[in-house]
């Protein structure tokens, strides 16, 4: 998994690509999120269009990000999941928990 991050207008923009597998990538992503939360960031937009493979541990990472931000009265939105990831979000009914946008612009606008 690779990721890019930038913070614009107090919104953490994460772009994740490759395989999202909790055992491998979870601790790093959660640490990154904790650092940003400690700086006062509570809103996060995650572009997962480049995630090729995700299993239940990867789903667990997304849930951890969601609960950490919501505990701070914040929110996380997902951007443009692939067909594979979209299918998993539907199977697990996470599509009812996460707000999903097609584009980064729509996701950012939702926070304003």
Contact pattern from residue 6 through residue 45 relative to another protein, giving x for each residue in contact according to CB under 8 A and a dash for the rest: -----------------x----------------------
Measured distance between the N- and C-terminal CA atoms of the chain, rounded to whole angstroms: 30
Which of 67, 72, 102, 105 binds another protein (CB under 8 A)? It is 67
Rg (CA), the chain: 13
User: Is residue 55 a contact residue for another protein (CB under 8 A)?
Assistant: yes
Distance CA 47, CA 80 (A): 6
Distance CA 49, CA 40 (A): 26
Q: Please give the size of the binding site for another protein, defined by CB under 8 A.
A: 21
Which residue shows structure tokens 């701070």?
72
Which of 91, 102, 103, 105 binds another protein (CB under 8 A)? It is 91
Binding residues for another protein restricted to 92-111, rule: CB under 8 A: 92-94, 96-97
Shortest distance, CB of residue 43 to another protein, whole angstroms? Answer: 18
Of the candidates 1, 91, 107, the one whose C-alpha atom is nearest the C-alpha of residue 47 is: 107
Distance CA 66, CA 8 (A): 19
Report the interface residues with another protein, using CB under 8 A.
23, 53, 55-57, 59-60, 63-64, 66-67, 83-84, 87-88, 91-94, 96-97
């Amino acid at each position: 998994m690779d990721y890019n991050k930038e913070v614009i207008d107090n919104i953490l923009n994460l772009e994740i690509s490759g395989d999202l597998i909790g055992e491998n990538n979870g601790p790093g992503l959660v640490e990154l999120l904790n650092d940003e939360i400690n700086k006062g960031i509570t809103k996060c937009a995650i572009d997962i269009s480049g995630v090729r493979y995700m299993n239940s541990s990867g789903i667990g990472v997304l849930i951890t990000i969601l609960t950490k931000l919501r505990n701070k009265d914040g929110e996380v939105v997902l951007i443009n999941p692939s067909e594979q990831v979209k299918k998993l979000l539907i199977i697990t009914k996470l599509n009812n928990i996460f707000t999903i946008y097609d584009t980064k612009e729509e996701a950012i606008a939702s926070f304003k």
